Amino acid sequence: MLVNQLKVGTMENFCYILSCPDTRKAAVIDPGADEHLILAELDRHVLELEYILLTHFHYDHTCKASHLRQATGALVAMHEADIPYFREQVDVVLKDGDIIHAGEQIRLQVMHTPGHTPGGVCYYGHGRLFTGDTLFVRDSGRTDFAYSHRPTLGASLRRVMQLPEDTVVMPGHDYGPAPASTLLEEKRHNINAKEYGFYKP
């Protein structure tokens, strides 16, 4: 699986294009802006988009999902608990443990990680964890919204910290000192590690 990390929009968002080099099938995670850039990258690499995978319903992660759906025919996927907050079409209703396949080389497990939003998810596969606004490099998602819950986010983070420590963290925003990290680095250096109970000295 190939991964293309794109900076989109005005809020330091990351969008990801995942592709299978054998079949040229692709999935996009969190197309929050700049649909022309995303479509140009798909065209440049001659990719056929199959899935638009959303980590949560917030506008800065989803606002170009319907545009991509219309342009490519790809299926929009979101966790069932966030759908009531989302006003666009959802084609694939996700649940914890679901597996997303695209082409021969893309296989992602859906991990329900609520706390930032009720239906927040991470996508895990191929040694990478696409975390949306659940986990950032050196920080974690906000919990000051009416539908957010800080203890729930802590439980979600403790769950993902059970994955292998060399798992690469691919966040939803470029808020940290680097565009990616590892779970081990976050156990040691994340500002919330001690509060949420996953600190490792």
Query: Is residue 201 in some structural domain?
Result: no
139, part of any domain: yes
pTM, two decimal places:
0.97
Instruction: Give the per-residue pLDDT at 184.
Output: 98
- Residue 7 domain flag: yes
Amino acid identity of 163?
L
Instruction: Return the structure tokens found at 180.
Output: 């990616």
Cα angle 11, 158, 148 (rounded to 5 degrees) comes to 50
Instruction: Say if residues 140 and 153 touch (Cβ distance below 8 Å).
Output: yes
User: How far apart are alpha carbons 169 and 43 in whole angstroms?
Assistant: 27
Residue 138 lies in a domain: yes
Sign of CA dihedral 164, 168, 170, 176: positive
Please check whether residue 200 lies inside any domain of the structure: no
What tokens were used for 11?
């809020």
In a domain, 8, yes or no: yes
**Domain range holding 64?**
2-195
- Give the pLDDT means over successive 10-residue stretches in the chain (201 positions): 97 98 97 98 97 98 98 98 97 98 96 98 98 98 97 98 98 98 98 97 94
What is the distance between the alpha carbons of residues 168 and 154, in angstroms, rounded to a whole number? 19
pLDDT of residue 9: 96
Rg (alpha carbons) of the chain, rounded to whole number: 16
Q: What domain count does the chain have?
A: 1
CATH number for the domain including 64? Answer: 3.60.15.10
The partner residues of 48 in beta bridges, in order of sequence, read 25
Do 136 and 179 contact (CB within 8 A), yes or no? no
Q: Among 19, 17, 113, 30, which Cα is nearest to 77's?
A: 30
